[in-house]
Amino acid sequence: MTSPTPRVVSGIQPSGTIHLGNYFGAIRQHIALQDTHPGDAFYFIADYHALTTVRDPAVLRAHVFDSALTYLALGLDPARATLFRQSDVPEVTELAWLLATVTGMGLLERAHSYKDKLANNITPSVGLFFYPVLMAADILAHDGTLVPVGKDQLQHVEMAQDMATHFNEAYGRDPPVLYRPEPLPAKAAVVPGLDGRKMSKSYDNSLLLFESGKPLRKRVGQIVTDSTPLGEPLPFATCNVVALLRLFCDDAELAAIETYYRDGRRDGAPFGYGHAKLLLAEKIEQHFAPARARREQLLTPAGRAEIEAVLARGATKARAVASATLARCRRACGLR
> For 145, phi and psi rounded to 5 degrees?
-110, -25
Which listed residue (151, 187, 201, 317) is catalytic? Answer: 201
Q: Are strands 182-185 and 8-12 parallel, antiparallel or unpaired?
A: unpaired
Q: Is 317 a catalytic residue?
A: no
SS3 labels along the chain: CCCCCCCEEEEECCCCCCEHHHHHHHHHHHHHHHHHCCCCEEEEECHHHHCCCCCCHHHHHHHHHHHHHHHHHCCCCCCCCEEEEHHHCCHHHHHHHHHHCCCCHHHHHCCHHHHHHHHCCCCCCHHHHHHHHHHHHHHHHCCCCEEEECHHHHHHHHHHHHHHHHHHHHHCECCECCCCCEEEECCCCCCECCCCCECCCCCCCCCECCCCHHHHHHHHCCCCCCCCCCCCCCCCCCCHHHHHHCCCCCHHHHHHHHHHHHHCEECCEECCHHHHHHHHHHHHHHHCHHHHHHHHHHCCHHHHHHHHHHHHHHHHHHHHHHHHHHHHHHHHHCCC
Which listed residue (117, 187, 218, 317) is catalytic? Answer: 117
Q: Is 198 a catalytic residue?
A: yes
CA dist 92 to 16, 107, 190, 200, 335, Å? 23, 20, 30, 27, 16
Strand partners, 268: none
Handedness of CA 263, 265, 270, 271 (dihedral sign): negative
Q: Is 201 a catalytic residue?
A: yes
Burial class for 158, CB neighbours closer than 10 Å (0-12, 13-18, 19+):
middle
Which listed residue (187, 198, 218, 283) is catalytic? Answer: 198
Active-site positions?
117, 198, 201
